[in-house]
Amino acid sequence: MHQESEPKNNIPLLGERLPELHVVTTRGAKVLPRYYKGKWIVLFSHPADFTPVCTTEFTALAKRIDEFRELNTELIGLSMDQVFSHIKWLEWIKEKMGIEVTFPVIADNKGRVATRLGMLQPGKGSNTVRAVFIIDPNGFIRQILYYPQEVGRNTNEILRSLKALQLADKHNVSTPADWPNNDTIEDQVILPTATDVDSAEERKTCKDSFDWWFCYTKLEEK
């Protein structure tokens, strides 16, 4: 008799579509990424409820939920705790920290989502690492960040990445290191590299360039 195989613990690749995930959350059952079609998604895992680092991450993200939504982005958390544990923990955060977490949290108590997305790492038992998946409105994975359990995430970096991805999509540009505070071209962006002799010659005349393969420009929006 054919038996359904267990999902493999593989980290998806950038540019792949997020697999269809049927999940139970603190805000009801959802099918991802379909539920958020047309929106960006930040899907992030945390090791466990009622732990100090995870609590600081949830409060940091909850405080800035309006900034994410201004970027047409929804947050959704995940751990292998059961849904009643999530609910009680979020109640504790509201009571003790004065912050209400309004985004949903997936109760992946059987570990199927964590396994499918490579959130379980050797030597860390059954707890998920601090993974972050940025998914575009078409359901494609655009960025993946992995932090060990000992290191809390940087909320500013998640927001910076979102802004950079959206800027790149809209204007067909790239962003430099530490954008928008690069130590060479500041908040300017990098134009696509020339792909033939004629366009390379044309690029040599650009005012803002170091060479034909390194041209940059100032955009009105960031």
- Set 32, 54, 114, 191: catalytic member: 54
Give 137-179 as a DSSP string. Answer: TTSBEEEEEEE-TTS---HHHHHHHHHHHHHHHHHT-B--TTT
CA–CA gap between residue 144 and residue 85 (Å, rounded): 27
Per-residue pLDDT of the chain (222 residues; tens, 9 = 90+): 444 444 555 788 999 999 999 999 999 999 999 999 999 999 999 999 999 999 999 999 999 999 999 999 999 999 999 999 999 999 999 999 999 999 999 999 888 999 999 888 776 667 888 999 999 999 999 999 999 888 999 999 999 999 999 999 999 999 999 999 999 999 999 999 888 888 888 887 787 888 888 999 998 754
208-220 burial, b if ≥16 CB within 10 A, otherwise e?
ebeebeebbeeee
> Is the whole model's pTM more than 0.85, yes or no?
yes
Q: What domains can you pick out in the chain, each with its CATH number? A: 21-153 (3.40.30.10), 172-222 (3.30.1020.10)
Q: Is 206 a catalytic residue?
A: no
